[in-house]
Structure 1
Amino acid sequence: MQDLAQLEPIARDLPQTKRGHERCVALLESAAELFLEHGYDAVSLDDIVNHAGGSKASIYKYFGNKEGLFKAICDYRRDQFFKDICMPFNPDLLDFRNYLIQTLINFQQHLNQPEKAAFMRLVLEQSQRNPEIARHIHEHGPKEIQMAIAKALETAHNKGLLICANPIFSAQFYFGILRNIEWKVLMGLPVEDSDQENINYISYCVDRFLDGHQKP
């Protein structure tokens, strides 16, 4: 479970006690469960409170309204994504090729989890309906993830491990390796390749990516 400081960018009014922290996280997790089961529009704040306990006053205090709560769920899950998938690159401890391969393998395994895939589809649906939610999710989701890899590419460039004149463009190119798998997941199609086939595919693409970032 996250500590109080880690909830600061997620909740409007940061809980000051362990009990308040637990209430905040319970609302996030209960709301996410209900949204996935019934859909965003079908779930009311009363439904969330009845499921999680507490009162609507807590939702208003911590998140402002239902839309704020949904944004907070996306932020909360993004933080878990970073923790589980997108680790900082330390050139003194990690081989850069292995780092790039493992990051994509972690991402692909994340996509293959049915609950994670369902949440991605929910996010996509709400983004199409609400431009403000779409902007928030893009700025605090895909863009942040791309910036994390761009930072790793910049570090590798400065260490002489590759040539990367535009780390942001290269980061976007890098995540394109999984675009086909990502679209299959979003459309509810099965990813039929075996784990080993996916590893072979990712390894091949990362090698081609690195080939393109060497001196001409």
Structure 2
Amino acid sequence: MKNGMVRSAAERQGEADQRDRILEEAESLFLKEGFDGTTIDMIVSRAHISKSDFYLHFQNRDDVFLAVARRLIVLSGRFLPIPDGPLFDQLAALGPLMRRGQVMQPGIGILRAAIVANRFSSDVARQVYLRRASQGDSLARLLMKTAEADGARFDDASLCAYRFGAIVTDGLRHLAGLPMPGADDQRAFGRYAAHIFLYGYAAREDGSSRAGIKEGGKHGWIAPQPVFPDLPPTRKSQESWNAVLDQAWSVFRQAGYDAASMDGISDRAGLPKNTIYRRFGSKAGLFLFTARRRIDMILAAPVELEKGAFTAHEILTGVMLDMQKRFCSEDCLALSRILIAGAGEHDVMTSTVCEYLVQQVIDKILPIVLSLIRTGDLAIGVAPDLAAWHIFVLATFGSRFLFIAPEGAEEQLALASEAAEQFLFGIFRPPL
């Protein structure tokens, strides 16, 4: 009996060692080859096991991918508990940590693999996202305590924590390849984001909402308008080239950037591949102009506001809802996924597209921000371009809608209304 127990324990240890070996090799493959480039055959070959041994531990590729993700995604304990001190100081210190943590390896690598996996299994990508988003659990608990002790108000602590994360990480900008600012800028932005999260952008008699940045002042947090390469002259009309870009987009959207082939694009466009190369220079050049056209189309229509929207909250709810719907369109979601998935290998290309998106969003929303400043609804001293960008970030929840879409018109409106309230007043809102 004793020998049987020893043998059973040894067997269990052997199974655990085998499972760890599978995970180690799968992790290496997923991070190097991506989700679609990794097969079960590759994993078992690297782990020196049989397929039957693999299936003792995992049901399929999705199953082992999720197990790898659970090991790699940064959990809340990595950066939290939140440091002691006043709430403002806690949030200001937490901001730079969350910003840097957003792009830390290997967590960002597995998120990019999950973005690719979304084309094959949306549930896999969703589970990876939820695991990653669990970083906000400690912050949600802190916000609940603040609500009980100091009267903060918000709809849901977890969603409110995610809104803070969306602001301090600047939405998708760094996920899409934009470089991190220097340490001093990160600290300054952390304090700015903490203030905005607590008090919002609205004008208040006590002055608590003053952002501390002069209108038009240099803050360096919005990237300059990117420069696209000059295109050579051609006999084809712009309309003809736009048709080529539309066909290219259909391939990029379906296959992703890396898997899209120039041969496939050439076939869809009905043009020789060399003709496309002469015009755009490379696959990356073609994607730059394809993405720019798609952004222009996504943002082309005027911002749609509800009739009879007169108060700042009503106006901003309409703007938030409009931006939310645009972001959740198939084209915008597909483009965002391509940017995040491709940023690891093609950061110059993806960051150029992201900078263009940021500028076009700001140009779209800026007139509304300036109007609210003129009417006295927004505080003196806010940076209008940054405020416009934060409207978009709060409306779209950063990257949340890439994985969890709103369920129906009622939830869309509720999220837009809460985002408008958060933008105006933060979590310390005026008495009802």
> Shorter-chain-normalised TM-score: which range?
0.7 to 0.9
> Aligned partner of 1:203: which letter?
S
> Aligned partner of 2:349: which letter?
I
> Aligned partner of 2:385: which letter?
I
Partner in structure 2 of residue 4 of structure 1: none
Q: Deviations over 1:159-198 (max 9, x none)?
A: 4343242223323432332343x52332xx3425331122
Partner in structure 2 of residue 193 of structure 1: 407
Equivalences for residues 120-199 of structure 1 within 5 A: 120-166=336-382, 167-180=384-397, 182-186=398-402, 189-199=403-413
Equivalent-residue separation in structure 2 for 1:58 and 1:11 (angstroms): 17
Percent identity (aligned): 22
1:66 partnered with 2:280:
no
1:77 partnered with 2:291:
no
From 260, 271, 280, give the equivalent of 1:43.
Answer: 260
From 6, 9, 13, give the equivalent of 2:231.
Answer: 13
Pairwise CA distance, 1:83: 0.9
Pairwise CA distance, 1:24: 0.6
Q: Deviations over 1:13-55 (max 9, x none)?
A: 37777x5223211221111111222232233322211111122
Larger RCO: 1 or 2 (CA < 8 Å, sep 6+): 2
> Aligned partner of 1:128: which letter?
G
> Aligned partner of 2:418: which letter?
Y
From 182, 196, 202, give the equivalent of 2:416.
Answer: 202
1:31 partnered with 2:245:
no
**Contact 1:101 1:203 (C-alpha < 8 Å) held by counterparts:** yes
Pairwise CA distance, 1:62: 3.1
Change (3 A) 1:127 1:162: same
- 1:195 counterpart SS class: helix
Unaligned runs of 5+ in 2: 1-226
Q: Deviations over 1:51-109 (max 9, x none)?
A: 1112234323432221111011111111112213657x9xxx98754443222212222
**Contact 1:153 1:164 (C-alpha < 8 Å) held by counterparts:** no
> Aligned partner of 2:410: which letter?
Q
1:53 partnered with 2:270:
yes
Pairwise CA distance, 1:129: 1.8
**Contact 1:150 1:168 (C-alpha < 8 Å) held by counterparts:** yes
Equivalent-residue separation in structure 1 for 2:322 and 2:233 (angstroms): 32
* TM-score (normalizing by structure 1): 0.73
Change (3 A) 1:63 1:142: same
- 1:128 counterpart SS class: coil
Unaligned runs of 5+ in 1: 1-8
Change (3 A) 1:85 1:119: farther
Equivalent-residue separation in structure 2 for 1:115 and 1:124 (angstroms): 14
Q: Look at both structures and tell me which one has the larger radius of gyration over its CA atoms.
A: 2
Equivalent-residue separation in structure 2 for 1:53 and 1:95 (angstroms): 52
Superposed CA RMSD:
3.4
Partner in structure 1 of residue 189 of structure 2: none
Number of paired residues? Answer: 198
